[in-house]
Amino acid sequence: GVSWKLADHPKLPKGKVVAMIVLDGWGEAHDNQYNCISVAETPTMDSLKNGAPDRWRLVRAHGTAVGLPTEDDMGNSEVGHNALGAGRIFAQGAKLCDLALESGKIYDGEGFNYIKESFESGTLHLIGLLSDGGVHSRIDQVLLLVKGASERGAKRIRVHALTDGRDVLDGSSVAFVETLQNYLSELREQGIDAQIASGGGRMYVTMDRYENDWDVVKRGWDAQVLGEAPYKFKSALEAVKTLRAEPKANDQYLPPFVIVDESGKAVGPIVDGDAVVTFNFRADRMVMAAKAFEYEDFDKFDRVRVPKIRYAGMLQYDGELKLPNHYLVSPPEIDRTSGEYLTHNGVRTFACSETVKFGHVTFFWNGNRSGYFDSEMEEYVEVPSDSGITFNVQPKMKALEIAEKARDAILSGKFHQVRVNLPNSDMVGHTGDIAATVVACKAADEAVKMILDTIEQVGGIYVVTADHGNAEDMVKRNKKGEPALDKDGKIQILTSHTLEPVPIAIGGPGLLPGVRYRKDVPSGGLANVAATVMNLHGFVAPDDYETTLIEVVDN
């Protein structure tokens, strides 16, 4: 068994209230007009940066520092919150799928063998996000999987492709669809009946998260399973090109479409005896669809027809719920997270965000685990997000409400750790609306102020950091770092995350004067934060945790 008892920190006291603030998508970059954080009025964050020099620093939030395959992989909220909460670096879904596909082990696993049973008489359907963003999925993995399945008996393959434009440039969907379509037509020449069967934009079709809007999942079900959608096309390439030509259309929000044959019949509804794989490795935006495919009892929308299928996820999306039951690659086993340790050591925790990021400060933070470790010790509060809008319309989102919940939790005296995620800079940054993102950053800064003021009032400690970059750079750049122009000479707005490091500031009246950042962890990353926070609660982190960022000097 695990020994949960943490050693006492030799110098730092227990019992202080620690506010742990995660600004989603708040990286550090040079000042310029595309840096919405520097353009915005952010007096609170500025004062932290320009305050005590040994209590503000940057940490790495992308690439191998958070368990991603390469240094070209931008950070994301899943891996960022995993690292923050778990204090160690785990090879993440993207990497685990690469390894399983490279070695071919994916085809020996239980999940593949389960779906393979359907190859003889049924169709293999692959559903997921089609891009090279590497956040939820990767197109090269999809192509490998299609190839591998076709070599192992899949004779009829249908891909249901969700267009991205959020982890990659808007407009890139056309090239990804073309790549896939070309590949499938090569397979057809080899006698495999393979084609794209349906599609739609990720934010409008299938990929909702945390039960914000089930209609999104329903639109996907209708197109993928029932073969019904408002738009019908002969090819997916024609579909994305045509739908993108509509005014204001973008990849993230393309309406659902199905591909039909000469007679107007959908080419790939999902029927009894078929196999279905959702090829996203990341959980949050596949859990809802997985429930629709897997659960017998399901009341979130009328599924109309529930085919008897063999369904597997690329990964298992929720270990607690065993959802789905079958999966091609085992997810990272993120165990002994800081949350679980702290609960065992008497630290009472409050966690809060609004719906769109609620699972980030709870599920991801706790190593992809749902629910409480100990309901006596923890309280998680979800502020309902606005749904059915893009967040550039409401850039303040629920920042104020989240800050008020945090304030009340701090003042209640019931908690030692009050943890929040402020989504604004990320969610609005993803819309690519620069003016709105500036408003979003200001709103997040105001929320931080409210929480820091409360910490001041109760003599507590604060930690302010972020999970990855986004709003600090809103333009695609060339190798020289200059804004890259498209063929019409226009700058290309960057809706995605970045490779930038993120700030981490510590302070508050409860922090001993001698606490400062160590100088010997220059390449520290998000995984170093958990040990740091454990120290602030008066404990020493377990030996295998990434080292703490702080030291205590006598002065």
Annotated binding site for Mn(2+): 24, 77, 426, 430, 467-468, 497
Residue 167 or 354 with smaller CB distance to ligand 3PG: 167
524, 549 Cβ separation under 8 angstroms: yes
- 380 — phi, psi (to 5°)? -115, 125
First to last CA, the chain: 41
Whether the CA torsion 70, 75, 79, 84 is positive or negative: it is positive
Alpha-carbon separation of residue 57 from 28, 52, 67, 463, 516 (angstroms): 10, 10, 21, 12, 10
C-beta pairs of 434-439 under 8 Å, 24+ apart in sequence: 434/34, 434/36, 434/474, 434/493, 436/391, 436/392, 436/393, 436/395, 437/36, 437/392, 437/395, 437/471, 437/474, 438/36, 438/39, 438/40, 439/40, 439/395, 439/396
Residue 123 or 163 with smaller CB distance to ligand 3PG: 163
User: Which amino acid belongs to residue 347?
Assistant: V
- 125 CB neighbour count, 10 Å cutoff: 29
Rounded least distance, CB 516 to ligand 3PG, Å: 30
Residue 167 or 294 with smaller CB distance to ligand 3PG: 167
SS3 readout for 503-548: EEEEECCCCCCCEEECCCCCCCEHHHHHHHHHHHCCEECCCCCCCC
User: Which amino acid belongs to residue 297?
Assistant: D
What x-and-dash track marks residues 6-35 binding ligand 3PG by CB under 6 A?
A: ------------------xx----------
Q: Is 347 helix (H, G, I), strand (E, B) or coil?
A: coil
Among 75-83, 115-123, 244-252, 266-274, which window interacts with ligand 3PG (CB under 6 A)? 75-83
Rounded least distance, CB 423 to Co ion, Å: 8
Residue 34 or 363 with smaller CB distance to ligand 3PG: 363
Q: How far apart are CA 505 and CA 511, in angstroms?
A: 12
What x-and-dash track marks residues 408-427 binding ligand 3PG by CB under 6 A?
A: ------------------x-
Q: Which of 28, 98, 167, 251 binds ligand 3PG (CB under 6 A)?
A: 167
166 contact, one of Co ion, ligand 3PG, none, CB 5-8 Å limit per kind = ligand 3PG
Among 88-96, 333-341, 418-426, 522-530, which window interacts with Co ion (CB under 5 A)? 418-426
- 543 CB neighbour count, 10 Å cutoff: 7
Binding residues: 24, 77, 136, 166-167, 202, 209, 282-285, 357, 426, 430, 467-468, 497
- Tell how far CA 18 is from the center of its chain: 25
Residue 170 or 426 with smaller CB distance to ligand 3PG: 426
* Closest of 421, 451, 418, 407 to residue 348, by C-alpha: 418
135 contacts ligand 3PG (rule: CB under 6 A): yes
Rounded least distance, CB 130 to ligand 3PG, Å: 13
Among 76-84, 314-322, 484-492, 531-539, which window interacts with ligand 3PG (CB under 6 A)? 76-84
135 contact, one of ligand 3PG, Co ion, none, CB 5-8 Å limit per kind = ligand 3PG
285 contact, one of ligand 3PG, Co ion, none, CB 5-8 Å limit per kind = ligand 3PG
- Tell how far CA 358 is from the center of its chain: 11
Q: How far apart are CA 371 and CA 412, in angstroms?
A: 22
Whether the CA torsion 141, 142, 144, 149 is positive or negative: it is positive
Rounded least distance, CB 88 to Co ion, Å: 23
Question: Which residue's beta carbon is nearest to the bound ligand 3PG?
Answer: 77
Structure-block tokens of residue 547: 């080292």
Rounded least distance, CB 215 to ligand 3PG, Å: 17
Query: Pick the catalytic residue: 38, 77, 118, 173?
Result: 77
Active site residue 103: no
Q: Which of 60, 95, 156, 285 binds ligand 3PG (CB under 6 A)?
A: 285
What x-and-dash track marks residues 211-250 binding ligand 3PG by CB under 6 A?
A: ----------------------------------------
Q: How far apart are CA 164 and CA 170, in angstroms?
A: 7
User: What letters, b where the CB count within 10 A reaches 16 and e where it falls short, cover 293-311?
Assistant: bbeeeeeeeebeeebebbb
73 contacts Co ion (rule: CB under 5 A): no
CA gyration radius for the chain?
A: 24
Alpha-carbon separation of residue 406 from 45, 94, 386, 419, 497 (angstroms): 18, 34, 19, 8, 26
Residue 158 or 282 with smaller CB distance to ligand 3PG: 282
Q: How far apart are CA 522 and CA 406, in angstroms?
A: 31
76 contacts ligand 3PG (rule: CB under 6 A): yes
Residues in contact with Co ion, counted by CB under 5 A, come to a total of 1
123 contacts ligand 3PG (rule: CB under 6 A): no
146, 181 Cβ separation under 8 angstroms: no
Residue 357 or 537 with smaller CB distance to Co ion: 357
426 contacts Co ion (rule: CB under 5 A): yes
The residues assigned a catalytic role are 77
- Residue ranges in contact with Co ion by CB under 5 A: 426
- Residue ranges in contact with ligand 3PG by CB under 6 A: 24-25, 76-78, 135-136, 166-167, 285, 426, 430
